[in-house]
Chain A
């Protein structure tokens, strides 16, 4: 498109070209630019501000409500630490949410009203993903389970269909997004021919085949240690089952019959596979003395173990730098403690420190600390009893729009 115009700015040809340019540039400046800029600004706001600003004008309301904006906002939020929050559930079954920081841990703790009203008890957070939580709760007096899909930032919730098999305490859940079908799926692993999956766009759970060689239980992740040490009143309040790790389009968990690899289940074609475990991690399924599990930190698959030896607990954490490549496992750190006997990694801060959920001797419920040696535990006081906490990203994703039935 090179124009052969002599570089003399006074020439008539140059002036004419200048006029053409001006006309062209004038066309660009239309009202659309204003919209584009407003959308850019709004996509950087916390969800609460956006919900308030729906009242500004009809245009803003429409803008904030459209799916395109939800995606744009979420794409910005997921890479931004200030949009990562913590969901906490305490022993009285109250929910709280807070901001995260690697020095103060939890800031601006706010009470979150329960998603459903009614005679409900025994609340449990099954798993969290993309700002959505899967919550299980029991309904008086029928004692039925209700399964909820809850957006923690907009506080919108829907009731999901119940799985075919009852929601036993020994099952492990995972929520993930399938880009092939543009749908979210919930996976529930229970072994004993009871694995099921729910694609949100469908309205029913489907029974799945078991993994060919595994025993299909993520029981190795269960906090029997916590139970043994009296931290849990009964197995019923076991919020420390852990959840399935969803990353790279697949769910992952450790199976007691597979010694050198973990199970992976791809969300789009629903096929089982295996991911090799790190060299140096020997799986031990003596649940009284050991624990291991899979998690996701900073978008990377990670695996962790706790071993007890002579009253000292050793926690190790490995991160898989390159997904699927055994040699890329990297041992991040080791923690030795005489009183933190069950540690689960929850989140990696931008400075590399890791938020850990721990069970502590002589204390019920969970405590939190960071991998930084100088970090204290939270909550400090014994009077607070936190069952569990999950990290989530602020999002506008609407449970109602995901489940049109």
Chain B
């Protein structure tokens, strides 16, 4: 293919979700994903993403489009977008971070992991298990031992501990 010049039409890619739905996106925007970038370098224009469902893919495309138009003047605008973007349920955030990780979109991984951290830091141990779907594999004695080791961390300021799993 001839090398692209500014006047040429932008190169488009097709992203296909695990549910076989297809979405057209500009290559220049899609390569914010390291995974997609690698495939483009191998001359693919139809990118199958069997690990990303349609709903999640739509959100990710929205993120990439917004961040694709980043300039020096719209930093505040993008910050606002990011703030709103992470106002989602833990279930949605989990799907998003798995997809972002799979797609190697570093800025999105950072944004999502930070959102998780901000929201879980004051949660109770039980709430954490629920949010991440982690079974408690301690015996009561074992758990009591670990609790004792850092008792002050549990007891001091415990009125601020949040027990909800949302």
Contact between chains at B132 and A38 (CB < 8 Å): yes
B153 touches A28 (CB 8 A): no
A29-55 interface (Cβ within 8 A of B): 29, 33-34, 36-38, 40-42, 44-46, 48-49, 51-55
Residues of chain B within 8 A of A41, CB atoms compared: 113, 116-117, 120
User: How many angstroms from the CA of A36 to the CA of B101 in the assembled complex?
Assistant: 9
Q: How far is the CA of A29 from the CA of B50 in the complex (A)?
A: 11
Question: What is the bound-complex CA distance between A135 and B58, given in angstroms?
Answer: 56
Q: Is the CB of B46 within 8 A of A9?
A: yes
- Judge whether A16 is part of the interface by a CB distance below 8 angstroms: no
CB atoms of A40 and B113 under 8 A apart: yes
Q: Mark B124-144, 1 if CB is under 8 A from A, else 0.
A: 010011001011111000010
Binary A-proximity of B57-68 (CB < 8 A = 1, otherwise 0): 000000000000
On whether the beta carbons of B113 and A52 are closer than 8 Å, the reply is no
A-B pairs under 8 A by CB, number? 99
The answer, yes or no, to whether A401 is at the interface (CB within 8 Å) is no
Indicate if A234 sits at the interface (CB-CB under 8 A).
no
Tell me the complex Cα distance, A17–B48, Å. 11
Residues of B within 8 A of A154 (CB): 150
Cβ-defined contact, A57 with B129, below 8 A: yes
Decide yes or no whether B78 CB sits under 8 A from chain A. Answer: no
Asked if A7 is at the interface of the complex by the 8 Å CB criterion, the answer is yes
**Interface residues, chain B, CB within 8 Å of chain A?**
35, 39, 41-46, 48-51, 97-98, 101-102, 109, 113-114, 116-117, 120-122, 125, 128-129, 132, 134-138, 143, 146-147, 149-150, 152-154, 156-157
Q: List 20 A-B contacts (CB under 8 A).
A: A3-B42, A7-B43, A21-B44, A25-B51, A33-B101, A38-B132, A41-B113, A45-B117, A45-B120, A48-B153, A51-B150, A52-B150, A53-B125, A55-B143, A55-B146, A57-B136, A58-B138, A61-B146, A110-B156, A154-B150
